[in-house]
Structure 1
């Protein structure tokens, strides 16, 4: 797996990352969603530098401009519900992309420290020969990402596969390294320290879905 760390150099990205972590800002769910969306736009721009482009002639009112445009179709696929604001940021950049949505959640057994990943709802277009961008803001254990990835691969063979996460734990990255092919690209906005005993990212930011859309039962 090829890993791209985006926040290693100072940019406005780090400003937005700081705000989504700040407990003094967490009461403002609209700002949280908008900042996640902005982070998605920045990540999409950085990712776009690695894609294939084709030459094209554009007719202007005064002449013809020789330039380039994306050569491949993109599919944005987010993991519900936390992935929706990040998805929107990517869609603002890749505005002609097709879109897919998958639900995945932790199902705890009698032991609260152990859980299975349940993948249920799926609404996915044809992925064959296209660039698949799998989007989820938090990469904790990595089990959800691998479970969704495996389910999607049953549907076809993309040209390229890119995973986009805002905050990742080292344990999650290691899990992806062990279970995903070498040609997969992982894009990480921020790498955090570790997982705690409940498999939450530290320092992290809390539950991204709850911060974006309110607490769930």
Structure 2
């Protein structure tokens, strides 16, 4: 798997990451969602450089202009619920993409630190031969991405897979590299060193789903 780390070079993305992490700004849900959306736009732009392009002619008022246009058949799949703002950012740039939605959440059967990832809902077009973009802002253990990949197998085999995430932990990235196909790509804004005993990214930013949409009852 090819890892593309956005914050290896300084850019305006640093500002959005800083605001997402800042506990004093996280109460502004609209800003939190919008910053994730912005990062989705930035990473969508970056990953589009890996697409296949072909030349087209466009008629202007004064003549014809030749331009290279992307030829990918895209499907954007977001992991509910935290993936929705990231999905919006990607869709802002990939207007004609098909869309897929899947739920994946942590279930604590014994009400302790041990958890399993449950996938309960899937709505998706065929993925056969298409370019699949999987969006989830938090890449902690990597188990959500892996379980989603398994759930999507019945929808066909994509030509290539792009994972898009905002913050990840080194441990989770290393796990994904053992599971996803070699020609897959991970586009991630920033990488933190570790997970805590509950499997949350440190320093991270907290629970992205709750910060976007409000707290939820555990079940």
* Length-normalised TM-score, structure 2: 0.97
User: How far apart in 2 are the matches of 1:159 and 1:140?
Assistant: 26
Moved over 2 A (4+): none
CA distance in 2, matches of 1:78, 1:7: 22
Deviation at 1:160, TM superposition (A): 1.1
- Show the counterpart of 2:36: 36
Structure 1 partner of 2:137: 137
Label 1:213 to 1:111 Cα distance change in 2 as closer, same or farther (>3 A).
closer
Output aligned runs, 1:17-166, within 5 Å: 17-110=17-110, 112-166=112-166
1:178 matched residue in structure 2: 178
Partners of 2:111 and 2:97 lie apart in 1 by 41
Corresponding residue number in structure 2 for 1:190? 190
State the secondary structure of the residue aligned to 1:166. Answer: strand
Cα deviation 1:84-142 (Å, max 9, x = unaligned): 00000000011111110000111112262221111111010111111100000000010
Cα distance, 1:157 vs. partner?
Answer: 1.1
Q: Which sections of structure 1, spanning at least 5 residues, go unmatched?
A: none
Measure how far apart 1:211 and its partner are: 0.6
- Structure 2 distance, partners of 1:169, 1:154, is 29
Count of residues in Structure 1 that have an aligned counterpart in Structure 2: 217
The 1-side partners of 2:110 and 2:122 are apart by: 27
Normalising by structure 1, report the TM-score.
Answer: 0.98
